[in-house]
């Protein structure tokens, strides 16, 4: 961490836009109102690529690798020790906590691991999985610095950003705001939180502008004792935010927020704003957000999985409590003895992303994603819940222990997704089951298949039961809702 060869910083040709160029007032889905969305969060920066091309077009080929790394004002590639880079990452992520200090903002245009929730970015969304990872990162850096008592050298731009964050924390703590303990949480973001968030977000944007092309090359050395104190303060406020998220909780179909399962996502409705006087390429006005209200979502399995990583490995009671709560929630499919990627999404806004286009029990809409549920089982092992792990394993939670007749395919075949019981919500009147070879109500098993065959079968089936239109031809005469043999690569299906 301290004595390894120093590492360079990647020179990214893309730029994360400031809020003034991505908070946009747009019409709502129904066209009856206006809401504030985060749009165009990332751009391919022409200025940065121009600078990079100056190196790529050189007649000195030994300089070409340097074009991928951040340089100083005198042209030298800037490098830091690994511990310095981890500190920079931790500070950046800490500065990206959402207006209520709970999740990490999805301000870069992507919704974290769940790409089907792509609309969440536009909803000014944030993620708790990233917040739990932030907690782990802060703990690691703080523990390492304190253990070895070594000073840490950082670019002066990072030192300036840390100073601004500490000033914002002083002001926030000076307000006397306190929601520790058993207190109710108002979904309207308090003014103290808004002002802190605005100050820190401004500091982050100023840092990015300062290092957009180069570092100055000047460094600052944090004394180990000072840095440990700073990191402990960051950890304290991160922990407060994680506790606050558990109080805000989740909300959805048959979910009143009392599950005591870690939430995964929040969104932020802008309740007050002022137009900046500028507009985007579509003529929509850019705005400055002046107030927020938290939006709450149903449960997703990723939240408790990441939460379990933060629990002590010898804290079996805590680990067991999380497991029991998850199994008692809408994330458990008792029919297949497996855990779904999400709870019911019934009633959720289409704004949240393309997952709302999927019928329940399919893909990211309450199906069983094996790579997601396996991560949950891995946490059972890490938490030393060995009996529970093998109970889930042998009960069918892992594919080798599912009954082949249920899956109706080779149980040795890799499967990314299984239908869950939620697929029973699909009725013949809305989407004929026979079209996708789905199990009929009351049948003993649910089917699964690779995504490619799924998409092909879906398209052919839809064209069979909907009027033909441009770009959506009818299937061949005699098509019975199944993919023709010469197109079906699923050799295990009869």
Given a cut of 80, is residue 62 above it in pLDDT?
no
Q: Is 129 within the bounds of a domain?
A: yes
Given a cut of 90, is residue 24 above it in pLDDT?
yes
Phi-psi region of 285 (alpha: psi -120 to 50; beta: other; left: phi over 0): beta
Q: Which tokens hold the place of 250?
A: 């989740």
Q: Is 209 within the bounds of a domain?
A: yes
3-state secondary structure of 350: helix
Q: Which residues pair with 221 in a beta bridge?
A: 153
Where are the strands (E) in 115-207, listed by range? 126-127, 152-155
d(CA 194, CA 293): 11
Q: How many residues does the chain have?
A: 494
Residue where a domain stops, chosen among 296, 313, 336: 296
**pLDDT score of 114:** 86
User: Higher model confidence: residue 423 or residue 470?
Assistant: 423
Tell me: do 104 and 198 sit in the same domain.
yes
pLDDT digits (tens, 9 = 90+) for 118-127: 999 999 999 9
Per the listing, tokens 């002046």 go with 290
d(CA 240, CA 204): 21
d(CA 481, CA 479): 6
Contact 274, 288 (CB under 8 A): yes
Q: Is 253 within the bounds of a domain?
A: no
Residue where a domain stops, chosen among 448, 464, 484: 448
Q: Is 468 within the bounds of a domain?
A: no
d(CA 366, CA 360): 6
Each as own residue / partner, the long-range contacts of residues 452-458 (CB below 8 Å, 24 or more positions apart, any chain) are 452/489, 453/483, 453/488, 453/489, 453/490, 454/362, 456/483, 456/487, 457/482, 457/483
Least confident of 103-107, 153-157, 408-412: 408-412
What Rg do the C-alpha atoms of the chain give, in angstroms? 25
3-state secondary structure of 37: strand
User: Higher model confidence: residue 76 or residue 434?
Assistant: 76
Tell me: do 132 and 93 sit in the same domain.
yes
Please give the average per-residue pLDDT across 273-302, as a whole number: 95
Q: Which helix (H) or strand (E) holds 7?
A: strand 7-8
d(CA 151, CA 120): 40
Contact 151, 224 (CB under 8 A): yes
Residue-number span of the structural domain to which 93 is assigned: 7-248+265-296
**pLDDT score of 173:** 94
User: Higher model confidence: residue 452 or residue 144?
Assistant: 144
pLDDT band at residue 368, thresholds of 50, 70 and 90?
A: confident
**pLDDT score of 364:** 83
Determine how many CB atoms are found less than 10 A away from the CB of residue 425. Answer: 13
Tell me: do 284 and 387 sit in the same domain.
no
**pLDDT score of 403:** 61
Mean pLDDT (the chain) is 82
User: Higher model confidence: residue 324 or residue 115?
Assistant: 324
Q: Is 256 within the bounds of a domain?
A: no
Q: Which tokens hold the place of 193?
A: 């939180």
Tell me: do 288 and 309 sit in the same domain.
no
User: Higher model confidence: residue 136 or residue 251?
Assistant: 136
Determine how many CB atoms are found less than 10 A away from the CB of residue 480. Answer: 9
Q: Is 454 within the bounds of a domain?
A: no
User: Higher model confidence: residue 378 or residue 314?
Assistant: 378
Q: pLDDT above 90 covers what percent of the chain?
A: 56
Given a cut of 80, is residue 494 above it in pLDDT?
no
Tell me: do 340 and 364 sit in the same domain.
yes
Q: Is 2 within the bounds of a domain?
A: no
**pLDDT score of 363:** 81
Tell me: do 308 and 223 sit in the same domain.
no
- Number of domains present in the structure of the chain: 2
**pLDDT score of 287:** 97
pLDDT band at residue 30, thresholds of 50, 70 and 90?
A: confident
Least confident of 33-42, 53-62, 229-238: 53-62
Q: Cβ-count burial of 487 within 10 angstroms (0-12 exposed, 13-18 middle, 19+ buried)?
A: exposed
Given a cut of 90, is residue 436 above it in pLDDT?
no
Please give the average per-residue pLDDT across 309-336, as a whole number: 91
**323 alpha-carbon distance from chain centroid:** 21
The predicted model scores a pTM of 0.83
Contact 108, 19 (CB under 8 A): no
Tell me: do 289 and 307 sit in the same domain.
no
User: Higher model confidence: residue 334 or residue 301?
Assistant: 301
Torsion of CA 302, 295, 18, 155, to 10 degrees: -50
**pLDDT score of 360:** 85
User: Higher model confidence: residue 160 or residue 108?
Assistant: 160
pLDDT digits (tens, 9 = 90+) for 127-144: 999 999 999 999 999 999
**pLDDT score of 484:** 36
Tell me: do 241 and 328 sit in the same domain.
no
**pLDDT score of 29:** 78
**pLDDT score of 407:** 56
Q: Which residues pair with 274 in a beta bridge?
A: 288
pLDDT band at residue 223, thresholds of 50, 70 and 90?
A: very high
Q: Which tokens hold the place of 366?
A: 């309450």
pLDDT band at residue 405, thresholds of 50, 70 and 90?
A: low
pLDDT digits (tens, 9 = 90+) for 142-196: 999 999 999 999 999 999 999 999 999 999 999 988 777 665 678 999 999 999 9
Tell me: do 393 and 368 sit in the same domain.
yes
């Amino acid at each position: 961490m301290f004595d390894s060869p120093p590492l360079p910083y990647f020179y990214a040709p893309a730029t994360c836009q400031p809020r003034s160029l991505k908070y946009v007032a747009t019409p709502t889905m129904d066209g009856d109102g206006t809401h504030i969305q985060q749009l165009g969060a990332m751009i391919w920066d022409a200025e940065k690529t121009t600078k990079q091309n100056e190196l790529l077009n050189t007649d000195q080929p030994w300089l070409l690798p340097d074009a991928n790394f951040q340089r100083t004002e005198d042209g030298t590639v800037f490098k830091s020790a690994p511990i310095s880079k981890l500190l920079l990452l931790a500070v950046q992520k800490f500065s990206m906590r959402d207006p209520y200090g709970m999740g990490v903002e999805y301000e870069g245009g992507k919704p974290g691991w769940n790409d089907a929730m792509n609309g969440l970015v536009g909803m000014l969304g944030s993620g708790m999985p990233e917040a739990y990872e932030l907690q782990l990162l802060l703990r690691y850096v703080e523990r390492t610095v304190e253990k070895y008592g070594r000073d840490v050298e950082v670019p002066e731009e990072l030192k300036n950003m840390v100073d601004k964050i500490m000033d914002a924390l002083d002001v926030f703590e000076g307000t006397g705001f306190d929601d520790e303990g058993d207190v109710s949480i108002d979904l309207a973001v308090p003014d103290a939180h808004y002002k802190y968030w605005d100050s820190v977000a401004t500091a982050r944007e100023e840092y990015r502008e300062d290092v957009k092309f180069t570092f100055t090359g000047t460094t600052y050395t944090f004394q180990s004792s000072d840095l440990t104190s700073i990191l402990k303060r960051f950890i304290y406020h991160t922990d407060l935010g994680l506790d606050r998220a558990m109080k805000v909780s989740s909300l959805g179909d048959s979910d009143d927020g009392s599950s005591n399962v870690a939430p995964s996502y929040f969104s932020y409705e802008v309740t007050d704003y002022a137009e900046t006087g500028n507009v985007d390429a579509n003529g929509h006005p850019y705005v400055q957000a002046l107030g927020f209200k938290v939006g709450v979502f149903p449960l997703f399995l990723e939240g408790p999985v990441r939460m379990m990583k933060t629990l002590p490995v010898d804290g079996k009671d805590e680990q067991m409590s999380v497991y029991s709560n998850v199994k008692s929630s809408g994330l458990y499919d008792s029919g297949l003895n497996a855990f779904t990627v999400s709870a019911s999404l019934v009633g959720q806004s289409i704004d949240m992303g393309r997952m709302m286009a999927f019928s329940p029990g399919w893909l990211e809409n309450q199906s069983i994603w094996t790579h997601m549920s396996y991560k949950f089982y891995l946490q059972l092992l890490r938490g030393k819940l060995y009996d529970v792990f093998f109970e889930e394993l042998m009960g069918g939670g892992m594919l080798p222990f599912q009954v082949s007749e249920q899956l109706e395919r080779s149980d040795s075949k890799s499967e990314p997704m299984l239908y869950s019981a939620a697929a029973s919500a699909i009725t013949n009147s809305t989407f004929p089951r026979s079209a996708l070879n789905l199990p009929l109500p009351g049948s003993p098993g649910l089917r699964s298949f690779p995504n490619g065959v799924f998409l092909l079968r879906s398209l052919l089936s839809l064209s069979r039961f909907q009027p033909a239109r441009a770009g959506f031809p009818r299937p061949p005469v005699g098509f019975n809702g199944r993919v023709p043999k010469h197109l079906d690569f699923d050799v295990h299906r009869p």
